[in-house]
Amino acid sequence: MQEILSGFAHLLAPLPMFYVIIGVVLGIIVGAIPGLSGSMLIALALPLTFYMSSLHAMDLLVAMYVGSISGGLITAILLRIPGTPSSIVTTFDGYPMARQGKAGRALMLGIVSSFIGGLVSWAILIIAAPPLSRFALQFGSFEIFSLVLAALVLIAGMGGEGAFFRSLLAGFIGLFVACPGLDPVTSTPRLTFGSVQMTGGFGLLPVLIGMFGISQIISDITNIEQKLEKIPFTFRGMFLSAADMKKSMGNFIRSSLIGTWVGFLPGIGGNVGSIIAYSAAQSSSKNPEEFGSGCDEGIIASETANNATIGGAFIPLLTLGIPGSVITAILMGALILHDIAPGPLLFKQHPDIVYGIMAVVFVANLLMFVIMLFASYGIAKIIDIPKAFMIPAILLFCVIGTFALNNRFFDVWIMFGFGLFGFLLEKLNMPLGPFIIGLVLSPFAEIHLRSALMASGGSLLPFVTRPISLVFVVISLATLAWTTRKSLLLPYFARRKSLRQNKPAI
Amino acid sequence: MKKWGVLLLIFLVFQGMLFAEGSREKSAPAATTQEAYPVRPVKLIVPYAAGGGTDLIGRMVAQKLEQIIGQPVPIINIGGASGGLGMQELLKSPADGYTIGMDIINIWTRKALKTNDFGPEAFDLLAQCGTYYLVEATRFASPYKNLKELAEAAKKQPDSIQEATNIGAITHFTTLSFMDATGAKLRLVHIGDGAQRITSVLGGHVETTVMGTHEVLPYYQSKEMRVLGVASPKRIPGLEDAPTMAEQGMDVVQPVDYWFYMPKGSPKEKVSYITDALEKVMKDPEIIRKMSEMAMEPSFLRDGELLKRVDAQGKNIFAIAEKHNLGKK
């Protein structure tokens, strides 16, 4: 307890506080700009921290992490372009809600959810980090595959009524797009057609920026002279009532726990956390059909979970020296460069750093909340800027961000290619949600399924004999049965019935 | 009207992009002997994502290199395809002395697996800056206290003891060498990168894995992992209690060196200028201390000795690949 307090105490000095504020603000800005991601910002800022004390370096970098995960919701809601991959799912409900003239409410839901998700995972971090990290190690390939499966199954029902096959098709296309590159298990080229550039596969970020950013730009250009009915920004429903909060309490808690848990698992970041929380929210909702049309629950699940992954990702980093996400891997490198060896002894050897980081996570979340709250009115005005001014600016950032991601121009061509592809998919009325889920989750499903089968010698039995795995398998089957009945069988019988009734009339 | 304005702007953005790409591939002006060098920043391509082990060493070296050559050395991370994309980029970079790159032994494993058709010979080799060795590790509570016990148990019940590996990477090659040297058969389970293998060993999902000395060090110190054998010629400072594989009668030595390159055909005087600078970097007490604290060897090699080492390692990798039919279609 005392260590935590001293962690907070160090932030009271002007210099560390300054770093935290700068970090959060820069993080939010970079997070909001499509293509520029938090990991990029932190990698760029890393050399600057060589001249700071290690604690101050962490203040700056951790604040950037928190800011960048939160900032993504702004563009996701207002422009339907996720600022960071973590906010992909926020577009599903955030943008429709903004189009209904409730941009203020959508933003507010996102900001409040981010704050709550951050706080809950922070509380778990400080209270339960050491015991939880041991327990969570029990999660092996079998469990991770079943967990991912439970979210993948949701693809079928995502497109809404009557879109059963289109949703499945879009999901499979996403899965297929994730295939080229080096085979994750044998490291040999797969579907690269002899091109060295293709051995990197289609990067997630270039594909996402293309599908959301570029395709939106293309469709905007095709009808730029058409006067869109103006959607004024309103404060309607902006202030969340106590009833709102109470109604969503379960969602907040569930999504926070899912986010924290997924954040813990190595190699899986905020985007997977929000997808799984979204699917869990949909399958436990009373009105699952409202998902995707601008409902509160979707925004809450996505934004709560992606901020909750931050606290989760710090648990293995601080207790075991294992990074839980891309950004924590960079933070781990930063610690080593500052002569601090992350590992199981970090708590003992450098308690000031451990508790300092815990304090920053809290303060940065608080600052993020306050800054976004006050800035949200100004930010939301983006929606009123004429398209003719917005499009070139967005395009520029898309190109810069995609290139800067890996310093490869090939990624920019991928982005444009998928921009065109995304535009076509939308013209064909294909839902984007299943595509994204297939794309993001299938690599995890593939690698963990193959690992699991290698471990079991090819037997599928452990998936149902291991209790945690069994739970997810049962959830998957139940979701599948429910979706098939609702989206496939019921409409089929309804059609047959109506055909039969209509027959005499012919 | 508006439509044309937007189209014009987009056209301009495209033009800018084409220009940016075109200028990158412009050929370098012919170098003269009097030319001052370096007069602008020297890029260091790291073919892995920021935050990994190679990136870390790259940043440590770059920081010192800047002070010695008096020009910034920005790190350009080009990750993906286990290092192949970044090295491909270095291959295409102008040979004007302003781009250097680094890679580990993956440059050989990629060639052996036919992921890339080029190896170190496609570049001008500068220097070797630092080395770590690979170890076979297990949980501290594991019943196996050394490699002999592990090998015997694995021979008694072949294909039952699970080893976490990263198929196609150097860890996989090292496991194969160990199994060849002892005749033991472990069940290989592809788990992925270092962090994931550590998790799976600590969580008890697999029994053993191959890791770098710097990776295992924190868990060795906290008594959560046991080092069964080190694939090094002699014991490693910091891991003194851990026997080498040679001590246990197994002829397995697997170093992982950091090799620095320039594109083929770079001006000789620039190659030796940067190599001299790297030699100074590796004599810096801070670099030596940092590497030693991470259980790495602050090794330095150049010219003939370096070529010999690089070739010998390549031969070893190709021999293992040949024997186990890796990289065959």
Listed in sequence order, the residues at least 6 apart from A103 whose beta carbon sits closer than 8 Å to its beta carbon are: A77, A78, A97, A231, A233, A234, A380, A383
pLDDT at A117 over 80: yes
Q: Between chains, do A141 and B219 touch, taking CB under 8 Å as contact?
A: no
Q: Where are the domains of chain A?
A: 2-505
CB contact under 8 A, B80 and A50: no
Q: pLDDT per residue over B113-142, tens digit each?
A: 988 999 999 999 999 999 999 999 999 999
Search chain A and give the residue with CA nearest B80.
A200
Question: What is the C-alpha separation between A451 and A458, in angstroms, rounded?
Answer: 10
Mutate to test the interface with B, among A42, A141, A187 (most CBs of B within 10 A): A187
Residues B44-77 pLDDT 10s: 999 998 888 899 999 999 999 999 999 999 999 9
Q: What does the alpha-carbon distance between residue A207 and residue A406 come to, in Å, rounded to a whole number? A: 14
Query: Are B294 and A412 within 8 A, CB to CB?
Result: no
Best A42, A132, A195, A196 member to test B by mutation, with max B CBs in 10 Å, is: A196
For residue A43, which residues of chain B lie inside 8 Å, CB to CB?
A: 50-51, 77
Is beta strand B99-103 parallel, antiparallel or unpaired with respect to B255-263?
A: antiparallel
| List of chain A residues whose C-beta atoms are within 8 Å of the C-beta of residue B191 | 141, 451
B248 CA to chain A: closest CA distance, Å?
28
Distance from chain centroid for Cα B75: 16
Compute the distance between CA of residue B61 and CA of residue B297 in angstroms, rounded to an integer. 14
SS3 B315: helix
> What residues in B contact A316, CB-CB < 8 Å?
199
Q: Tokens representing A273? A: 């956390």
Cα separation values, A238 from A144, A187, A232, A381, Å: 38, 50, 14, 15
pLDDT above 70 for A76:
yes
Specify the higher pLDDT residue, A406 or A302. Answer: A302
List of chain B residues whose C-beta atoms are within 8 Å of the C-beta of residue A140: 200, 203, 205
Q: How far is B54 from chain A (nearest CA, A)?
A: 10
DSSP state of B206: S
Strand partners, B132: B256
CB-based contacts of A61, cutoff 8 Å, min separation 6: A23, A42, A45, A46, A49, A330, A331, A334
C-alpha R_g of chain A: 23
Give the amino acid at A181: G
Quickly list DSSP for B47-84.
SS-TTSHHHHHHHHHHHHHHHHHSS---EEE---GGGH
Segment among A257-266, A416-425, B68-77, B130-139 with least mean pLDDT? A257-266
Compute the mean pLDDT over every residue in chain A, rounded to the nearest whole number: 87
* Winning range, highest mean pLDDT, from A129-143, A293-307, A378-392: A293-307
Q: Check A341 against B81: CB less than 8 A apart.
A: no
Whether B80 sits inside 8 A of A203 (CB atoms) is yes
DSSP conformational letter for A209: I
**The domain B39-132+256-323: what is its CATH number?**
3.40.190.150
Q: What's the CATH fold of domain B140-248? A: D-Maltodextrin-Binding Protein; domain 2 (3.40.190)
B218 phi, psi to nearest 5 deg: -60, -35
Q: Are B3 and A225 in contact (CB under 8 A)?
A: yes
Closest CA to A437 of A207, A200, A170: A170
Identity (one letter) of the amino acid at B112? A
Which residues of chain A does B288 touch, with a Cβ-Cβ cutoff of 8 Å? none
Inter-CA distances, A154 with A306, A378, A431, A434, B274, Å: 19, 36, 13, 8, 55
Residues of chain B with pLDDT under 70: 1-34, 329
A354-377 residues labelled b (16+ CB within 10 A) or e (exposed): bbbbbbbbbbbbbbbbebbeeebe
Nearest CB among B10, B63, B196 relative to A395 is that of: B10
Higher pLDDT pick, B243 / A158: B243
Domain layout of chain B by residue ranges: 39-132+256-323, 140-248
Give A-chain residues touching B88 at CB under 8 angstroms: 196-197
Under 8 Å CB-to-CB from A381, ≥6 apart: which residues? A233
Q: What does the alpha-carbon distance between residue B45 and residue B55 come to, in Å, rounded to a whole number?
A: 10
| Residue A148 scores a pLDDT above 60 | yes
* pLDDT confidence bin for A236, thresholds 50/70/90: low
What does the block give as tokens for A299? 């925004």
For residue A234, the model assigns a pLDDT of: 63
Among chain A residues, CA nearest to B193: A267
Matching fold, domains B39-132+256-323 and B140-248:
yes
- Position A232 scores a pLDDT of 61
Within 8 A of A329 by CB-CB distance, chain B residues are: 49-52, 195
- SS3 letters for A166-204? HHHHHHHHHHHHCCCEECCCCCCEECCCCCCHHHHCCCH
Q: Which of B2, B80, B114 sits opposite A224 (nearest CB)?
A: B2
